Amino acid sequence: MRLVTLTLNPAIDQTVTLDALTPGSVHRARSVWSDAGGKGVNVACCLADWGLAIAATGVLGQDNAAPFAQLLAAKSIDDRFVWIPGETRTNLKLLDASGGDTTDINLPGLEFGPSTVEAVRAVLADLTGPGSLAVLAGSLPRSLGPDIYARLTAELKRRGARVVLDASGPALAAALAAGRDSLPDAIKPNRHELEEWAGRPLPTLADVLDAAHHLQRSGIALVCVSLGAEGALFVSSEGALRALPPPTRVASTVGAGDALVAGLVAGLHDGLALPDLARRALAFAAGKLSRTGANLPPRAEVEAIAAEIQVERLG
């Protein structure tokens, strides 16, 4: 089964650790490090750590290519990016060591035209076919319309691929408004992104479950809603459940949602039943929390975490 991730708005994530983040104050950084990333890149890294062959595509700038080229080579990820003139953006992440919270400052991405989009589409056509799994993940550069994920999903599904979508805002809304045959096979919004799509607050677990059921009945085979420290909700034709992670030492929350997506993909790749898929997804996310960057612990450690995941069936 061929696996591929798409990242149209990648970034170099520069993480600055502070003793405590106080707006309006001068801060002295405890540490700083940079990781080549973007949601699809992070998903590919976690899947590679798990031991799966994975290709990654999207758009990257030639002027600061080294961090991405080095990362993809180190993880043995098939680099199928379209490289264009310019610099890939840098995002700033402020990690508050006192509480573990991260404040993100995301900069605008590379802007590109139709010819670059066509080059990406050609790469996807070459990488996907019946039985393949494609992950479309992350924000979009300003030069692209919000319907790009919807259009790419329709093309991928016509080729027989399954599509996992991790998007938000107008891009997610456009993808969810597509015809039933063009809907993604799996989505992973967090509670805020689901509320944004629903157009109303979802304060209780029952509210979140109702919205997830609505999406699943509309034709999305698997709906996963990440709930932070409260775990994640999973809804499919097999039913609904919530998975709760074990206590975890947190080194960095950056990329935890991407690791969750990677765990979903790994579970779909292996055809796991919903409870086991939920355990694997949460284990990926919990394992990543103990690492900086988009890195998983060794496979045996992730499997040990999965064995500790509590899964409860929901009505």
Beta strands in 75-141 (DSSP E): 78-79, 82-84, 90-96, 102-105, 133-137
- What the block records as the tokens of 242 is 């919530």
- What the block records as the tokens of 36 is 């080549």
Pairing between strand 82-84 and 90-96? Answer: unpaired
Catalytic residue among 63, 78, 258, 270: 258
Q: What one-letter code names the amino acid at 35?
A: D
Cα–Cα distance for residue pair 94/85, rounded to 1 Å: 29
Annotated active-site residue 270? The verdict is no
The closest alpha carbon to 145, from 121, 175, 165, 187, belongs to: 175
Rg of the Cα trace of the chain? 18
Cα–Cα distance for residue pair 162/160, rounded to 1 Å: 7
Cα–Cα distance for residue pair 215/235, rounded to 1 Å: 9
- Active-site residue numbers? 258
